[in-house]
Amino acid sequence: MSHIAFPRLDETILARRAEIVARLAAILPPECLIADESGRRAFETDALTAYRRLPLAVALPRSTEEVARVLRLCRDEKVNVVPRGAGTSLSGGAIPQEDAVVVALTKMSRILEVNLRDRYARVEAGVTNLAISEAVQPEGFFYAPDPSSQLACTIGGNIGMNSGGAHCLKYGVTTNNLLGVKLVTLDGEILDIGGEAMDAPGYDLLGLVCGSEGQLGIVTEAIVRLIPLPEGARPVLFGFDSVEDASQCVAAIIGAGIVPVAMEYMDKLAIRICEDFAHAGYPLDVEAMLIIEVEGSEAEMSAMLARIGAIAKAHNVKTARESMSAMESAQIWKGRKSAFGATGRVADYICMDGTVPTGKLPEALMRTGEICASFGLRVANVFHAGDGNMHPLILYNINDEQERNKAEEAGAAVLEMCVELGGCLTGEHGVGIEKRELMPRQFTDLELAQQKRVRAAFDPDGRLNPAKVFPLGERAA
């Protein structure tokens, strides 16, 4: 692949830019519309920073009705729309183009209702992931999915990408924790999908919308499940001399009927990078490390950790360290959750998100190393071992055009390997623009056509988040 293409710009839209901005200005107050170049600059990319395109304008609606008005206008004017939350997408899911209007939900960040009796919160889509948990924590509840970017990323973006996180081994990903959404279609129609009850009637539109990368409509509100906080949680660090032992330890734990809340894997390079940054006390003399977290009462955690410890021992664990305090636990997680940021201090990187069956992890790790070495690149591996969701960070120099191409090629080869091993291209980051052209590696033409027909049921002209998810084909510039 290398060098992600953008579709040809719609010249008629560019020519009418001033007119379109004027129409937007007629339906939005001045503080809800950004049209000047420096203002738009802040919306030209997301966390896939190698790619940037200025949008035509940025709308910052304050209500569902304003979103509906903007969408109706865009449909009438035949303008593309790029929905945006906090812009933390690693796959370019929020990257616009010069002929598209960005609709950013950042002004819609209120928690509308907390209902502890029915254990849900109704929130606006622009609320951050962490804000939900913070709001209900004093009452003994939390919102389970916890992507690494949870301080910044919004629930709307989480729904778009069906985000996961470290703790989804036990609690599931966004789609398993969502009860309902308010969705605005391109026609400006407002749909309530799902609700306060656990099951919804008819086709599972909620399941369909979750992970649809903003191509079916714009989610303006969500009803999310709240889960009682566990009495306690404790991570333990295990260091291994071999990747095989670490991987087989994960399989053996699950095989023994134990599902910890989290099982995170880090390789030698990742351990060093994160330790340098977070000083979490990670062992530096091992090839692989697992962070395994259990929850429950003191007695339960001790019993569970004893069982896990015995399994680790049987798999030649070299160092084992149980967290002895809340502060130590926080340090251990800080190291893991800052993996991307810490790596960014060392080098530029692209973060892959392929998933493989957990039984194939040792092979996938070995081949990832081989692929990157063949391009002369370094790779750090941090990932969710319990569910096989890999995150190889391929290090490169962004100012070296050739090396950037190599990194993208290596990334593509890693993802193809994931598919070949029975996995998929993306576990939780989404396809975006990044993995769009790889979709035919996982799906047949007929399967992609079926997905596109479902998308067309919502948006026949493909105006919502265009040039994402599906291969560009002949539309490339």
Partner 1 sequence: MTETLKPEREAEVVEAVLAARLAGTKLDIVGGGTKTGLGRPRSESRRLSSAALSGIAFYAPAEMTLSAGAGTPLAAIEAAIAEHGQMLPFEPMGARALWRTGAEPTLGGMVATNLAGPRRPSAGAVRDGVLGLKLINGLGQAIRCGGRVMKNVTGLDLAKLNCGAHGTLGVLTEATIKLAPKPEAEATLIVSGLAEPRAVELMTRGLSSPFGLTGAAWLAPRMGRDVSRTLLRIEGFGESVDDRAGRLAALIAVFGEFVRVTGEESAALWRSVRDAEFIAEPRERAVWRVSIAPSRAAGFAAGLGDTALAHFLDWGGGLIWVATEASEAAAAAIRHAVAAARGHATLMRAPETLRAAVEVFEPPSAAAMRLSRAIKQSFDPDGVLNFGRMYDGV
Site for partner 1 in 253-282 (CB under 8 A): 254-255, 257-259
Q: Does 440 bind partner 1 (CB under 8 A)?
A: no
Q: Does 137 bind partner 1 (CB under 8 A)?
A: no
Q: Does 192 bind partner 1 (CB under 8 A)?
A: yes
Site for partner 1 in 448-467 (CB under 8 A): 448, 450-451, 453-458
Produce one character per residue of 401-413: b if its CB has 16 or more CB atoms within 10 Å, e if not: eebbebbbbbbbb
Q: Does 398 bind partner 1 (CB under 8 A)?
A: no
Site size toward partner 1 (CB under 8 A) is 93
Distance CA 29, CA 60 (A): 9
Which two tokens mark 462?
A: 């493909």
From 33, 57, 218, 424, residue interacting with partner 1 (rule: CB under 8 A): 424
CB of 426 to partner 1, least distance (A): 5
CB of 37 to partner 1, least distance (A): 34
From 11, 36, 199, 474, residue interacting with partner 1 (rule: CB under 8 A): 199
Site for partner 1 in 328-357 (CB under 8 A): 355-357
CB of 81 to partner 1, least distance (A): 18
Q: Does 39 bind partner 1 (CB under 8 A)?
A: no
Distance CA 315, CA 301 (A): 21
From 161, 286, 311, 412, residue interacting with partner 1 (rule: CB under 8 A): 161
CB of 370 to partner 1, least distance (A): 22
Candidates 65-73, 185-193, 285-293, 397-405 — which segment interacts with partner 1 by CB under 8 A? Answer: 185-193
Site for partner 1 in 69-128 (CB under 8 A): 115-120
Site for partner 1 in 217-246 (CB under 8 A): 228-231
Beta bridge partners of 393: 351, 380
Nearer CB in complex with partner 1: 78/441: 441
Q: Does 138 bind partner 1 (CB under 8 A)?
A: no
CB of 447 to partner 1, least distance (A): 5
| Among candidate residues 2, 94, 112, 84, the one with its CA nearest the CA of residue 52 | 94
Distance CA 467, CA 473 (A): 10
Distance CA 97, CA 466 (A): 9
SS3 93: coil
Candidates 144-152, 168-176, 275-283, 326-334 — which segment interacts with partner 1 by CB under 8 A? Answer: 168-176
Measure CA of the first residue to CA of the last residue in the chain; give whole Å: 15
Nearer CB in complex with partner 1: 61/180: 180
Distance CA 188, CA 182 (A): 12
| Among candidate residues 287, 272, 407, 422, the one with its CA nearest the CA of residue 351 | 407
Question: What are the contacts of 205-208 at 24+ separation with CB within 8 A?
Answer: 206/175, 206/178, 206/179, 206/180, 206/181, 207/175, 208/454
Q: Does 188 bind partner 1 (CB under 8 A)?
A: no
Rg (CA), the chain: 22
Q: Does 384 bind partner 1 (CB under 8 A)?
A: yes
Beta bridge partners of 266: 289, 382
Candidates 98-106, 269-277, 391-399, 418-426 — which segment interacts with partner 1 by CB under 8 A? Answer: 418-426
Nearer CB in complex with partner 1: 297/374: 297
Q: Does 423 bind partner 1 (CB under 8 A)?
A: yes
| Among candidate residues 110, 99, 96, the one with its CA nearest the CA of residue 214 | 96
Candidates 33-41, 43-51, 100-108, 441-449 — which segment interacts with partner 1 by CB under 8 A? Answer: 441-449
Q: Does 150 bind partner 1 (CB under 8 A)?
A: no
Q: Does 429 bind partner 1 (CB under 8 A)?
A: yes
CB of 114 to partner 1, least distance (A): 13
Residues 2 and 409: beta-carbon distance below 8 Å: yes
Residue 318, C-beta contacts closer than 8 angstroms, at least 6 positions apart: 239, 240, 241, 283, 285, 286
